[in-house]
Chains A and B, each alone.
Chain A
Amino acid sequence: MSAVLAVVLPLTLMLLFPAPERYRRLAIALTPWSGAALFLPLLTRPEVAFSWPLLGVSLRVDEVNQPLILLTAVAWNLSAWFAWNTIERDRRWFWSGWLGALSGMSLLLLAGDIASFYIGYALLTLSAYLLITHEHNPQAWRAARVYLVMAFVGEAAILSGILLLAGTIGNADFASFTGHHETLSASPARWLLLAGFAVKMGIMPLHLWLPLAHPVAPVPASAILSGVIVKAGLMGWLRFVPGLPEDPAWIGWTLIWLGLFTAFAGVVIGLTQERIKTVLAYSTISQMGLILAAFGLTILLPDQRNALLALVGFMALHHGLNKAALFLACGSSLALGRIGTVLFALPALSLSAFPFTSGYLAKNALKAAVHHTPAEILGVVLALTSTATALLLWHAWQIARHTRTRNPSLQPSWALLVLSGLVLPWIWAAGHDLIEPVKIYMLWAAVWPLILTAVIVAAAVRLNWRASGQIPEGDLVVLVEQLAGHLPRLLAQRERRHRPHSHLLDRLHQLQGFFEHHQRSVQATGLAALLLIGLLWLTLWN
């Protein structure tokens, strides 16, 4: 029941929003708390199935979705408070989108079968559109357009994959996937699904929409877009394309290198950006690359699979909370002096894997996992990602310092989110045996990248390196847009001139008139009769 409530409550509230004012009171009162409904299933851990709605719906909470449910519940609810206080114009649309996205997110997280997951996913995708377009300015429209195009590219891949799966195993429960290993590993569905969900996650080169869309949304919306919604793609991976025992190593390696490439490329491009939310968006891309690398490891190292999967969930939780907190920072603080600085710095450091932060935990666990495996070399690379992240966040901080916000105010929800970003991952890690004992070399491994960062920063300041503005926001999308610019012309309807319809008839009329003119004379009929007599004679006479 709690699972159903978590899905249906936001949906109901959303449907109430277009209604006239007096019916909306209840909706308004409940909306900031609607995310909290997700805590209930987290506590009750339900497992329910209904046969009659749609193609059958089953909902459940299990190991895989737990961290993400937690993330969603916390980040969404706190962002909702934030939004409640800051969003002023056009609230109906904002909240419709917000609640729709929440409902979709909840459904996809809780879904236990293919169809339900897809329904949630589609709802999420569409509702997020409303969040992105909220500002109604040209940038927003552009971003929304790119978002929608990319979302549908992803959706297409996902739908293809899902239909391919459905054709072989029907609307299967995820729990039963293990029974279909052979089908799954051979099916192109897998690759389609991987690619489709990668769009949502912002894995390069499918990230086009992300650096455009995240910045244009209102602050709280950006927070959940970057913090939570991108994780929907991850959820898809975890559900649909978990690593299989038969998988060859190259799959793992491919994913890992793709993830690492995304991680670094995101940072490089992010460093050239001038708007803080854009920088943060690229940071998200980078971080998701990291998570992809971790996901790749689950395939590469099958014997550590379960631990690594838990780790991936943990990383998602950690990144989600902290990145959401960082985004909220853009909306409120930055001029608030010390408190603001602290509240910005804490999540930033955490993401950079500063010792004893949740990021540190994650990195440590990863490094431990690759230790003494063929992927050992990754240890160094992972450390370098911390350097890169730290650099990027430093860049963000630099921009933030020079940005003036109107009406700065300290939103408690922001502070709470920062706090939960510090605390919750630790609690989670403690509960899931993810805390490695502190060892010096590990500490050092966490610190040297940051020192490297400091050196680079110092050098940059000294040498006055400026890379800003060299790569446009959204990088590749500019090229794509230029190409796509020709499409409307191709599609444009050419008005065909309507030919006078009687043309043929007129011609026929003349012809018939001419014919009849000559036919009417007795002579013609006589001649015809004579000819006919002859013909008949010939044909009768054998």
Chain B
Amino acid sequence: MDSATLYVLAAAVLFGIGVHGLIVSAHLMRKLFAINIMGSSIFILLVATATPISGQADPIPQALVLTGIVIAVSATAFGLALMVRMSQETGKATLAVEDEPENDD
């Protein structure tokens, strides 16, 4: 059992937690947490499973993950702004299906 394996398992657990959170959370901010946690778990997986090149870490996955992190932040920032606006418009920061009138104009 080396540390890579440990982190892979951690990624699995984190992903599960993220998925669970995404499903059971009502509040959008928590959904965003969940998505971010899922993202982090994927990033961990990518880096943890990368094959070292002659003892040195493969820079490609790390570069990819770095980009991924920035993109995740961007999306999260936008998601937050969207959430705030939703809350301003409807008083709630949730996507509960009951709130939506069918075929709303």
Contacts and interface: CB of A to CB of B under 8 A. Distances in A.
What is the size category of the interface that chain A forms with chain B? under 10
Contacts of B19: 526
Nearest to B35: A522
A511 to B, nearest CB: 13
Nearest to A513: B102
B53 interface: no
Interface string A479-518: 0000000000000000000000000000000000100010
A520 interface: yes
Of B22, B23, B31, B95, most A-chain CB atoms within 10 Å: B23
Nearest to B102: A513
A513 B102 CA distance: 8
A520 B23 contact: no
B99 to A, nearest CB: 11
B97 interface: yes
B31 A521 contact: no
Nearest to A519: B97
Q: Which of B22, B31, B95, B97 has the most CB of A within 10 A?
A: B97
A522 B23 CA distance: 7
A523 interface: yes
B102 A521 contact: no
A521 B22 contact: no
Contacts of B22: 522-523, 526
B95 to A, nearest CB: 8
Nearest to A516: B102
Contacts of A517: 97
Nearest to A520: B97
Given A517-B97, A520-B97, A526 B23 contact: yes
Contacts of A526: 19, 22-23
Nearest to B100: A520
A522 B31 contact: yes
A271 to B, nearest CB: 86
Contacts of A513: 102
By Cβ-Cβ distance, the 5 closest A-B pairs, closest first, are A523-B23, A520-B97, A517-B97, A522-B22, A513-B102
Interface of A: 513, 517, 520-523, 526
Interface of B: 19, 22-23, 31, 95, 97, 100, 102
Given A517-B97, A521-B97, 9 more contacts: A513-B102, A520-B95, A520-B100, A521-B23, A521-B95, A522-B95, A523-B22, A523-B23, A526-B19
